[in-house]
Every structure is written in structure tokens, then in C-alpha cells.
Amino acid sequence: MADSSTNMRLRLPLLCIILEVILIILFGVLVEYNHDTDAKKWNENGTHTAHEYQNEFYYRYPSFQDVHVMIFVGFGFLMTFLQRYGFSSVGFNFLIAAFSLQWATLMQGFFHGMDHGKIHVGVESMINADFCTGSVLISFGALLGKTSPVQMLVMAVFEVTLFAVNEYILLTLLGANDAGGSMTIHTFGAYFGLVVSRVLYRPTLEKSKHRNSSVYHSDLFAMIGTIYLWMYWPSFNSAITKYGDPQHRTAMNTYYSLASCTLATFAFSSLLSHDGKLDMVHIQNAALAGGVAVGTAGEMMLTPAGSMIVGFLAGTISVLGYKYLSPILEKKLKIQDTCGVHNLHGMPGVLGAVVGAVTACLGSKEVYGDGLKKVFADSESASWSASNQGGMQALSLAVTLGMALFGGLLTGLILKIPIYGAPEDTHCFEDGLYWELPGEEEDHTELTEVATQNEVEKLNS
Amino acid sequence: MADSSTNMRLRLPLLCIILEVILIILFGVLVEYNHDTDAKKWNENGTHTAHEYQNEFYYRYPSFQDVHVMIFVGFGFLMTFLQRYGFSSVGFNFLIAAFSLQWATLMQGFFHGMDHGKIHVGVESMINADFCTGSVLISFGALLGKTSPVQMLVMAVFEVTLFAVNEYILLTLLGANDAGGSMTIHTFGAYFGLVVSRVLYRPTLEKSKHRNSSVYHSDLFAMIGTIYLWMYWPSFNSAITKYGDPQHRTAMNTYYSLASCTLATFAFSSLLSHDGKLDMVHIQNAALAGGVAVGTAGEMMLTPAGSMIVGFLAGTISVLGYKYLSPILEKKLKIQDTCGVHNLHGMPGVLGAVVGAVTACLGSKEVYGDGLKKVFADSESASWSASNQGGMQALSLAVTLGMALFGGLLTGLILKIPIYGAPEDTHCFEDGLYWELPGEEEDHTELTEVATQNEVEKLNS
Amino acid sequence: MADSSTNMRLRLPLLCIILEVILIILFGVLVEYNHDTDAKKWNENGTHTAHEYQNEFYYRYPSFQDVHVMIFVGFGFLMTFLQRYGFSSVGFNFLIAAFSLQWATLMQGFFHGMDHGKIHVGVESMINADFCTGSVLISFGALLGKTSPVQMLVMAVFEVTLFAVNEYILLTLLGANDAGGSMTIHTFGAYFGLVVSRVLYRPTLEKSKHRNSSVYHSDLFAMIGTIYLWMYWPSFNSAITKYGDPQHRTAMNTYYSLASCTLATFAFSSLLSHDGKLDMVHIQNAALAGGVAVGTAGEMMLTPAGSMIVGFLAGTISVLGYKYLSPILEKKLKIQDTCGVHNLHGMPGVLGAVVGAVTACLGSKEVYGDGLKKVFADSESASWSASNQGGMQALSLAVTLGMALFGGLLTGLILKIPIYGAPEDTHCFEDGLYWELPGEEEDHTELTEVATQNEVEKLNS
């Protein structure tokens, strides 16, 4: 799969420019401001009975910004743990996300209902586009260090498209709930990436093994990503729920789930690690599984204690996955999962889907009162029943897994064509291939005129 | 106090799991969604005259997220200044906070009024729980590097409980104002931690002195914490004030106080330091004292200029404290205060309490108009007078100091039992005791095939 | 220009204290809470028909906090790319900003209309003060590493004042639109700073050349700044637009512009760099130009595709500027621009002004409906026409350039007086002049008692 040359000079610029030109043309033809964003529509006499504070912007924009931070700082810095791949982690994350959110706006707009042949955009499309981008970045996590930026952009083209198809099937055709994306984002992104990684299997990757690890400072940079993901996850899960109690409840459920998950993570990391010492990989990743696992049920009446139980389970299986399952995946199934997305997004995503299906089965007018229709949009229809909803949720998980496996296989095969400048097995996890690296610190001997030798030593430190 | 072994394998997992199981059981029995979070209650016909935008979520959630960032990134990274304690600073901060916010939800719910035997939670309980957590993290700052995570969790159990008792006395029994927690959070947390530190005094701590300092990069990581605390402090102080003008005014007063405090900090740091050079310890900490010092009076009609005066004083005493008082505390009073919380939270907290009492004395219908009752909830009662309110504020400071000293003493004695795996005096401020540390950077000699020697040197830099 | 001594002991404290005392006196005399912040006014019977959720706080405070993060973390960390100037970058940024926002509150309040001799402040004044501060920090970027903190505070005194004059001419006298400050903030700040840099030209600056570059970790710190600026720019441009659709639309236009700009940046960086490798300087800076370039037109009906075109152009000219124009500016025009603010703020700011003028010319009742007056405040007047508006926009750019050149020249000459402790040419880009630097990491040989040699090596890594 490695190419004779990893030089990006023509491939990357050409691809970026072509993609952006296509995006601009399609946006020009298809995309319009929606009612809350358009100067004319929002201010039309007659239909405009709403006050300014009812503009969707005020309900959703703060959540959008939190999600935005998760996508660019959260995912970007979480992946800087590698000692020599920080530029690529945060830089390619930036590139892939900037492309994906534009492409996702089109694909989601196309599938989720165009009006008079136009896609109408507002803050909710921005959140949905960021969500779809999150899925691509999860797949990127599985492939981190072993692919070229060109490969990742090509992957994004396909993954975003299939994400939109899967999301359409789940939310529109099956009527499933998945506000925080346990299925659409996490399960889909993780298994898609894992299958791509399987197709791109590198039998001699151990030649780059010495770079596939962290150093002290890179782990601290990664903790910036972790903590931002952890803090803003309540906003992520609640960003596109209905206004009022569902948004409020989802944020709170996620908050409790994550807190509980964190204690489970520290407990099992210490229990299973060498000498009872904590493992940064677990803290950086498994502590977040609680957010993934309430991505579907978070908007439901899961109760705070229920959320905490789910969070605890998620943290536990995630640490166990890092400890026991990842080595098996690599050795037996030949799946090289750089960031362990199977442990952070894969298994917790499936757990979240199952919890969502079970919680949906328990949905009733008794528990939700008139709020039932805000959580389950179809509940007003005569044919709706909680167990039906639960069934659709379970079916949604199956569809998602199928789409991810099929899509990952297809995309993996496309990415295997040796034209994208992928690194050799000996040069994985190395920024130097794609970035001009700065030199080392100068030794400042010029300073000796004015500084004591001691000071010079300090300066060099 | 040091144990024969600092191995956490059984102690930490056991404690985490037991605590979380207790939390889940108590949450299951006691905690319910409140009116704005519950699907049934919020959407009930009859009582539901409110529009969705009146859900408390939209008034408080953005502030909550800012507070959340302060707790996890602000406190966590502020403490990464130590050269070899970054993992513990940000990691244990994470663990302690994740536990404390759950425990605080219960304790505060218990003391602040249960309804039909249930604690009803919403975004305001999330903010209050984060506030209480802040207090524990302040105490952690005094003890940083000298304690085990097990000790810190045990401390949190006691400190959160006593915090809730103290808060109940101040806000409910005495009717004091303390929206930003100059007393309840900062004064309490600082003196509690200082007394614990006194009880756990380590006479030979200078054996770890070489690690009790920063390096260049660790100071930059710490500045991430500082700046986030500084920026979001207006949200912290205003997060649970009444809606409308008090929330607006509190944020603004805090903004001006901090700006003024920053100039005082730079001025006195340069004036008092060696050769007129600035000291990072001052900038990282004293510049924040302005937020602490308007924690009580911020919601009152302190005026922008008044806020700036308070901020200037706070920055000044904080720098003076770091320069002159901390060495005395350590030598004479045997209080080893790693982060200098006495200078950042202790003295500025007391200043804030005094400013609050004085400003309350000046509260009148003339100045506040109909807004008086939004700031002083009891002001509608016939027996209320501004000087009474001021007296209660002053009494609240005394109670807080008493509770902190008593609580710190009790907790310190409990923490002194040598069963928690505390580090030896020779091994303080050292991540290696509790964390698996990554190796050093590889020397990448494998790259020589394709890279020039010059490039290799660059890569190694 | 270099002084005999860079010792700040008297100069910096004296200046800080004098400035803060003047600020406090002027605030005491001139500044009052506005209607939405004052306890009496907001709660007055009769005039108070507004509900709490209509307090300006809830419309603007989340945007304010995002802007605040951009000023303190965004600008502060973006400049930490220099290997040995991190303390100064983030620290002086902090100091200058804390002063400037107070001074700006006074200057902007003075020029933008006092009421009964008083300046009335609320969240909008906080945003405007932060905006003005941004302009000063842009100028600081041009001068980074070559000036003393005293010089920068003196510059801020003048620049803030002239900023307020220019803003008054543009927004009040000419009736121009510039919500996101393409002209008032970016063009003004950049050219002001470039002229100052020209006046302070250092012919032998190459003696500090070895420090005027990044190292691996400093580039990662800088990416924190970049990403936060990028993410929150939609809030920046929309922070003070009218409520409802303009705020919503501006945020969205900025979002699309930046995404498109990022792809252009990666494309041209790879195309023009050595061996097709990406250059961190471009990614850190040029990817942000898309936010600058829609600072004027963002609130207009620019359309998503229009925003993307503008963003693409901005990213392209910015990379080209770094590659080809900056060396010419330095060699031919003797303008030493440390951060390349001409490429990030100068040219994209001018582009933004031009785009704003063109888009304004296309403004009509047909496109904007009743929303026209929310974007163009004067459009209700009979004499208004879109082409007139466009003309005023173009004139505003000319005025801004004139004010920046004149102001920069005047300020530069004042800063050239050798009394401010500026560094020698041999000591530029060096924290050690103004900061007590921490020592290097200890070698922990004390640990050998309990640690294996191998562990010691790890600890030292």
C-alpha cells in the first residue's frame, strides 16, 4: 500500500482545490439560508409572529460552539499523544474536519429533505455537519499515523456520504432516536474505520513501533483533548434534541454518566495495570466512554442513577477493551487500531444503542406525560408502541453495523490503490513525511557576552 | 505519614468502586429530575404556561459550561506547573472532581431542601455541585504532590459534606449572599486545605525540593489553566445569581475586577522580583485574585470602579503573600502550601467577604429600586435592614473560618493514618509513583536509510 | 532604539500603577451601569415591560465569552510559536489586553455617545472593548519579540484612542457596516503595527535570528491559539450584529468561509513549500484569514457559496503573502513583521472591506425584505441607496488606512525614544530579559535508592 513517494506537492493541492471548487459550485446551486437565517424570510410580515429570542440561534448556538470545540480541539488534541505525530494529528484533523463539514452539509441536506430543490441551512445544519465530521474523525483515529492526508480526504468523501445514507435510514425511515449519535456517529465511525484499517493491514508495522507511543509532554497535550471532550459532551448529546426539557435532561444525564465513567476508568486502570499504576491511555480515552454510551438514551427518562450505571459499565468495558481486546484484534483479526477507537467508540456505541433500545421499550405516557411526543416523534400515531420503538432502535443498530462494514470495506479497497502517498511501514507515525519540521533549539552561545554560563545553561534547558 | 508502599492496586480501585456503588444507590433512591428537566412535569397541562425558552436551561447552561471548564481545565492545568507532576495534576484533579460533583449533588440536595423525600436536580444543581468541587480542588492545591489519590478521595468525602453544612448555615440560616463563593468556596477551601496541610506537615520535604518547581513547558501548560480561569470567572460569579440584571451585573463587575487585578499583579511582581523580572508564579495565580475578591459583592451595586479597586487590592495582597507570607507560613507555622492557595484563595476570599459585608451595608431601596429583593432575598421582610445584612455577612465569614479550621483538623487527622499510600518525603511531586510513565523519545536511527543525518538531528530535537 | 538597560523594576510597576489609578478615577467619575445591568433601572415599574429573558445578557454573553477566549487564549497562544518567547507571548498578551479593555471602555464610551455625561456599560461594551483590544494585539503580533512590555502599554494607550476615533468616523459619521471589524479591527491593527515596526526598524535583527523560529512543542502550543481563533470566529463576527437573523446568518457565513479557507491554505502551503511538505506557519495563520475576510460582509446576504469563495481567496492570498510578500516587505520596505500580520490581518482585512463594499452595493429590499433595516440602519431614510452604502464602505477603508498609517507613524516615533527598556538586537525573541526563567529539569539522582537505573532514565526523559 505504501507508495514509491510520499511527496504531496501535486496530489494534496489538486485534491483540495478540486474538492473545494465542487463544493462551492454545489453550494451555489443548492444551498440557501433557512427561515431563521434569511433576512427576508425571518422578517416577513404576516408569518413573523416570533420574537427575536425565538430564533433557533439562541437555543442551539451555544451547544454548537461546544460541539465545534470537541471536533477541532477535542479530537485534534486527543490524538497528539503520539510523540512525533502532533502536527499531523491536529493538522490533518483540522483539514479533514473543514472538508467534511462542508460535504456533510450537502449530503445531509440532500437526504434529509430538500424544499423546492434547495437545501436550507441554519445552526442545526451546522451541528449536524459537525456530528457527521465527528464520525470521520473517529475513523481517522483508527488509521492515525498510517495514512496520507490525501487518503483521509478520499475516505471522508465516501464516509460522509454513507453516514448521511445511514442517518437517513435510521432517523427517517426507521423513526429511531439517536440524538447523541451512539449509533450514527460512534458505532458507524468506529466500525467503518476498523474495517478500513483491516483492509489496509500493514504486516510489518512493528518497524515503526518505536514511534507509536507517547512522551511526557505529548500525553499532556492529549489530555487537553480528553478534558474538552469530557466537559462538552453534555452539549454534544443535547445539541439537537427538542427544545426545553429534552435538551436539559440530556445534558444532565450525560454529565452524570461521564462522572461515573471516570471513577470506573480510574478503578479498572489501576486494577489491571502494572504495579497498580494508572495508564494514561485509559484515562485519556475510557473516561469518555460514558458520553458515547448515553448518546441514544440520554434524551429519554433514563434517570440520573440509570445514567450513572450506564457510564460505569461503559468505562469498565472500555478499559477492559484496551487491556485485553485490542491486542487480540491486532494479532488475530489483523486490525491495527492506533487510538483504540473500538474501545472508546465501538463497544460503548453498541452499548449505547442497546441501552437506547431498552429505555425506549419502557417509554410510556405514564412516565413522559405530554412530553412523550417530544422524545418519540411518532408516538402520537395510533400504530406506535414503546416496544415497536425499541425494535426499531435495535434494527437501527444492525443497519448501522452493516453499513459501516460494507462502507468500510468498499472505502478500504479504494484507499488501497497505491496512488495516495501513504507512508512506508518504516515511516509511520512520523510528522516529517508531510510537514516541514522546525529545527532543534539553538544553543544561544551568542548570549555569553551578557549572561553567565549558568544562565546559558538555564536558557538551553 | 508515608506508607511502606505507595502501590494503589487494591486501595484505589476498591475505594472508587465502593464510592460509585454507594453513589448510584443513593441517587437511585433519592434523586429525581426537577420540573424543568422532567418530561412529564415540564409538559403538564395547566401548570405549563411557560414557553420553552423559559426553561432554566437557557438561562444557566452556558454559564454552567464555563464553570465546568474552570473546574476541569482551569484547576487541572493550573497545577501542571510542576515539572514532573503534570499527569497527577490534571489526572487526579479529574478524578477528585468527577467524584465530588456526584457526592455534592447529594449533600447539597440533602441540606438545601428535599421535597417529599426527594432531591430534584437540574442545571442549577449541576452548577452548585461544580462549585463545591471547586472548593475541594482548592484544598488539593495546598496538598499537591504530597498526597495519594486515595487520600484525596477520602478528603473529598469529608470536605464536600462540611461544605454543604457550611453553605446551608450561610445561605439558609444566616441569609447571607455569596453567589460567587468568596466565603463558601474560596475561604472555606483554602483554610480547610491549609489546616490539612499543617496536620500532614512533612519536616523533611526539602528532600523533594528539586522537583517542587517548574520547567519552561510546564509553566506554559499552567498558563492554559490560568487564562481559562481568568476568562470564565465572570460566568462563575454570575452562574447562580437571579435572572436578568444581577447575572449581567455580576459578570461585568468580575470582568473589571480581573482586568484591574492583572495590572496590579504585573506591577508588584516586577517591583518585588529579582532584577525587576516577572515571576510566572505571580502571573499564574495572583492575576486571578480579582475574581475571588468580588465573589460576594459582585452581584451587588459595587459599581465598575468599585470592582476595579477591589481587584487591584486583591492582586496586590496576593503577590505580597507569595513573596513574603508563604515562606513565613512554611517556616513558622509549618504549613506547606504547594500552590499558594492562601495567596490566591485564602486572603482574597477573606477580602471578598469583607467587601461583601461592607457593600451589603450600603444596600438600599434608593440604590437598588425594585431590584433590591432580587439581590437580598429577605429585603421584603419588615425586620430586614442593610446593616443587619452586613452583620450576617460578617458572621458568615467567621462561621466559614471556624468550619474550615475544624473540618480541616478532623480531616487531616483522618488522612494521617498511614494506610492511604502517601509518598515518602523523598518522592513527593513525582508522577512516577502513581502513573506508568512513557519512555523517552526514540532516536530514530532507522530513518537513516532515507533521511540525511541533518534531518535525523532535526527529528530528534 | 535599544536601551542601556532592559530592567523593568521601576518602569513597568510605575506605568501599570499610574495607568490603573487613572482608569479607576475615570471609571469612578464617568462610568455607570446601563439599563440592563442596573438593579434600579432594569426593575423599574412602568418602563419595565421586558421579561428577564429579554435582558441583553442572554443574547450576547455567550458570544462575549467566545470573543474573550479568542483575545486571551487565541491571540496569546498563537504567538507562543517562538521557541523562547512563550512566557512573553502569552504573558504580555495578557497584560496588554487587560489594560486595553479598560481603556477601550472609556474611549469607545466617550466617542460612541455619552448620556448625561456618563458612559453606560453592559455586555455590548464588554464585547466592543475586547474588539478594540484585538486590534492592539494584532499590532503586538507585528512587533513580537522586539519590544518591551512598557513600550507595548504605551502603544496601547495611543492605539486604543485612535481606534475609537476611527471606529466613530466609520460607524457613526460614515454609517458604514463593519460588525466583524474587517476594517476597524484587522486592517487598522495590522497597518498600525506594520508602520510602528517600520519606524522601529532594526537593521541588525539577524543577530537574534536563531531565536526567531519555532520548535516542535512551541508549534503545538501555537496550534491551541489557532484552533480557538478558528472555532470561535463565527461568534466574533456575529457578536454585535442585530438580534435574530443577522446574528444567525453572520455566524454561519463565517463558518463556511473558514472551512473553505482551510482547504485553500493546505492546498497552497503544500504547493509552494519545499518538497510539497506543509508549513506550520501557513496552517497556524492563513487558515484564519477566512474569518477576517467576511468581517464586514458576514452580516449581509453574502450566501454560503459567496462566503466560501471569499474564504478561499483569503486563504490563498494569505499563503502567497507569507511565501512571497513578507520577505520583500522585510528587505525592501524594512518592515519586520514577526507574526506576519500583514498576511493574516492586513491583506485579508482589505479584501474583507472590498467584499463588504461590493456586497453592500447589492443590498436591496428585494433581497432583504423587511430585514434590510436591521443590516443597514440608515436604509429607512429616503436618501439611502445601496450604491451610496457601498461608497461609504469604500471610503471607510481609505479612512482606516489613513488613520492606521498616521497613528502608527506618530506612535512609532514616540516608542522610538530610548527610555522603555527595549531589547538589544542581539537579545530579541528572548524571555530571559523580562522573566525569571525556571531552571532545567533536575536529574533526580536521589531517586536511585528506590528506582532502578532504567526507571531513572525514564524519569529524566
pLDDT, tens digit, for every residue of C413-453?
999 999 999 999 999 999 999 999 997 654 443 333 333 44
Average confidence (pLDDT) over C333-351? 98
Among candidates A217, A227, A259 on the partner chain, residue whose Cβ is nearest the Cβ of B76:
A227
Which chain C residue's Cα is nearest to B244? C52
Which three cell numbers mark A421? 502517498
Residues B80 and B222: beta-carbon distance below 8 Å = yes
What does pLDDT average to over chain A? 93
Residues of A in contact with B48 (CB under 8 A): 370
Q: For residue A433, which of A136, A94, A2, A1 has the smallest C-alpha distance?
A: A2
Per-residue model confidence (pLDDT) at position C7: 86
Q: What is the pLDDT of residues C357-386, one digit of tens each?
A: 999 999 999 999 999 999 999 999 999 999
Task: State how far the Cα of C55 lies from the Cα of B53, in Å rounded to an integer.
Answer: 13
Q: Which residues pair with C340 in a beta bridge?
A: none
Query: Which of B 167-196 lie inside 8 A of C, CB atoms?
Result: none
Among candidates A37, A53, A446 on the partner chain, residue whose Cβ is nearest the Cβ of C54:
A53
Phi, psi angle pair for B452, to nearest 5°:
-70, 160
Residues C90 and C4: beta-carbon distance below 8 Å = no
Per-residue model confidence (pLDDT) at position B112: 84
DSSP for A271-282, written as a single string: HHSGGG-B-HHH
Phi, psi angle pair for A93, to nearest 5°:
-55, -45
Q: How confident is the model at residue A274 (pLDDT cuts 50, 70, 90)?
A: confident
Q: For residue B458, which of C81, A432, C126 has the smallest C-alpha distance?
A: A432
**Share in percent of chain C as helix, strand, coil (round to 5):** 75, 5, 25
Q: Which of A30, A36, A66, A94 should we substitute to test contact with C (largest number of C Cβ atoms within 10 Å)?
A: A94
Q: What is the pLDDT of residues B220-239, one digit of tens each?
A: 999 999 999 999 999 999 99
Q: What is the pLDDT of residues B126-173, one digit of tens each?
A: 999 999 999 999 999 999 999 999 999 999 999 999 999 999 999 999
Which three cell numbers mark B167? 453553605
- Coil/strand/helix, residue C302: coil
Task: State how far the Cα of C211 lies from the Cα of A32, in Å rounded to an integer.
Answer: 49
Residues C293 and C315: beta-carbon distance below 8 Å = no
Say if residue C85's pLDDT is above 50. yes
Query: Which of C 352-391 lie inside 8 A of A, CB atoms?
Result: 367-372, 374-375
Q: How confident is the model at residue A3 (pLDDT cuts 50, 70, 90)?
A: low
**A410 shares contact with chain C (CB less than 8 Å):** no
Q: In Å, how far is A137's CA from the nearest CA of chain B?
A: 23
Of B19-33, B46-60, B374-388, B402-416, least confident by mean pLDDT is B46-60
Q: For residue A104, which of A169, A178, A179, A159 has the smallest C-alpha distance?
A: A159
Among candidates C52, C217, C442 on the partner chain, residue whose Cβ is nearest the Cβ of B244:
C52
- Burial string for B166-185 (b: 16+ CB within 10 Å, else e) reads bbbbbbeebbbbbbbbbbbb
Say if residue A456's pLDDT is above 50. no
Q: What is the pLDDT of residues A228-271, one digit of tens each?
A: 999 999 999 999 999 999 999 999 999 999 999 999 999 999 99
- What share of chain C has pLDDT > 70, as a percent? 93
Neighbors of chain B by Cβ distance (3+ pairs < 8 Å)? A, C
Per-residue model confidence (pLDDT) at position C50: 73
The Cα diameter of chain A in Å comes to 88
Length of chain B: 461
Q: In Å, how far is B307's CA from the nearest CA of chain C?
A: 9
Per-residue model confidence (pLDDT) at position B457: 43
Tally of helices (H runs) and strands (E runs) in chain A: 20, 2
Say if residue B110's pLDDT is above 90. yes
Task: State how far the Cα of A289 lies from the Cα of A230, in Å rounded to an integer.
Answer: 9
Name the more confident of A344 and C442.
Answer: A344
Which three cell numbers mark C199? 519606524
Backbone Cα Rg of chain A? 23
- Coil/strand/helix, residue C457: helix
Q: Which of B81, B94, B99, B216 should we substitute to test contact with A (largest number of A Cβ atoms within 10 Å)?
A: B94
Which of 3.40.710.10, 1.10.340.30, 3.40.718.10, 1.10.3430.10 would CATH assign to domain B11-258+383-447?
1.10.3430.10
Per-residue model confidence (pLDDT) at position C440: 63
Of A38-52, A57-71, B246-260, least confident by mean pLDDT is A38-52
How far is residue C119 from each of residues C2, C125, C135, C262, C327, measured CA to CA in Å? 40, 10, 22, 41, 45
Task: State how far the Cα of C100 lies from the Cα of A272, in Å rounded to an integer.
Answer: 53
Residues of B in contact with C436 (CB under 8 A): 273-274, 277-280
**B210 shares contact with chain C (CB less than 8 Å):** yes
Taking CB atoms and an 8 Å limit, are C249 and A73 in contact across chains? Answer: no
Query: Which of C 86-125 lie inside 8 A of B, CB atoms?
Result: 86-87, 90-91, 94-95, 98-99, 101-102, 121-123
Per-residue model confidence (pLDDT) at position B454: 43
- What share of chain C has pLDDT > 90, as a percent? 89
Helix (H) or strand (E) segment spanning residue C121 = strand C119-121
Per-residue model confidence (pLDDT) at position C3: 53
Termini Cα distance of chain B = 42
Taking CB atoms and an 8 Å limit, are A371 and B459 in contact across chains? Answer: no
Q: Which residues pair with A230 in a beta bridge?
A: none
Residue with cell 465527528: A134
Q: How confident is the model at residue A295 (pLDDT cuts 50, 70, 90)?
A: very high
Query: Which of A 242-271 lie inside 8 A of C, CB atoms?
Result: none
Per-residue model confidence (pLDDT) at position A455: 43
Average confidence (pLDDT) over C85-97? 98
Output DSSP code: residue B442: P
Residues of B in contact with A219 (CB under 8 A): 87, 438
Q: Which residues contact A144 (CB under 8 A, 6 or more apart)?
A: A79, A82, A85, A89, A338, A339, A429
Taking CB atoms and an 8 Å limit, are C245 and A62 in contact across chains? Answer: no
Average confidence (pLDDT) over A416-440? 93
- β pairing state of C31-33 and C119-121: parallel
Say if residue C84's pLDDT is above 90. yes
- What share of chain B has pLDDT > 70, as a percent? 93
Q: Which of C85, C229, C255 should we substitute to test contact with A (largest number of A Cβ atoms within 10 Å)?
A: C255
Residues of B in contact with A260 (CB under 8 A): 20, 23-24, 98, 102
Q: Which residues contact C277 (CB under 8 A, 6 or more apart)?
A: A8, A433, A434, A435, A436, C270
User: Which CATH number describes the domain made up of A11-447?
Assistant: 1.10.3430.10
Q: Which of A15, A80, A95 should we substitute to test contact with C (largest number of C Cβ atoms within 10 Å)?
A: A95
Per-residue model confidence (pLDDT) at position C5: 79
Domain boundaries, chain C: 11-447
Residue with cell 528572548: C430
Task: State how far the Cα of A133 lies from the Cα of A100, in Å rounded to an integer.
Answer: 5
Which three cell numbers mark C172? 457613526
Residue with cell 452499548: A351
Of A126-135, A152-161, B193-202, C39-48, least confident by mean pLDDT is C39-48
Helix (H) or strand (E) segment spanning residue A51 = none
Per-residue model confidence (pLDDT) at position B82: 96
Per-residue model confidence (pLDDT) at position A6: 80
Helix (H) or strand (E) segment spanning residue A178 = none
Q: What is the pLDDT of residues A356-375, one digit of tens each?
A: 999 999 999 999 999 999 99
Q: How confident is the model at residue B441 (pLDDT cuts 50, 70, 90)?
A: low
- Other Cβ atoms less than 10 A from the Cβ of A378: the count is 13
Output DSSP code: residue C451: S
Query: Which of C 51-80 lie inside 8 A of B, CB atoms?
Result: 52-53, 55-58, 61-62, 65, 68-69, 72-73, 76-77, 80
Per-residue model confidence (pLDDT) at position C45: 65
Q: What is the pLDDT of residues C198-214, one digit of tens each?
A: 999 999 999 999 999 99
What does pLDDT average to over chain B? 93
- Other Cβ atoms less than 10 A from the Cβ of A418: the count is 11
Taking CB atoms and an 8 Å limit, are C37 and B249 in contact across chains? Answer: yes
Task: State how far the Cα of C214 lies from the Cα of C280, in Å rounded to an integer.
Answer: 10
Per-residue model confidence (pLDDT) at position A180: 97
Taking CB atoms and an 8 Å limit, are C244 and A72 in contact across chains? Answer: no
Task: State how far the Cα of C364 lies from the Cα of C389, in Å rounded to an integer.
Answer: 11
Q: In Å, how far is C450's CA from the nearest CA of chain B?
A: 9
Length of chain A: 461
Which three cell numbers mark B5? 508502599
Name the more confident of A46 and C64.
Answer: C64
Residues A369 and B43: beta-carbon distance below 8 Å = yes
Average confidence (pLDDT) over B53-69? 96
* SS3 track for C219-270: HHHHHHHHHHHHHHHHHHHHCCCCCCHHHHHHHHHHHHHHHHHHHHHHHHHH
Q: What is the pLDDT of residues A371-405, one digit of tens each?
A: 999 999 999 999 999 999 999 999 999 999 999 99
Helix axes A123-143, A149-167, angle to 10 degrees: 130
Average confidence (pLDDT) over C112-135? 95
Per-residue model confidence (pLDDT) at position C441: 56
Q: What is the pLDDT of residues A429-447, one digit of tens each?
A: 999 999 999 976 544 433 3
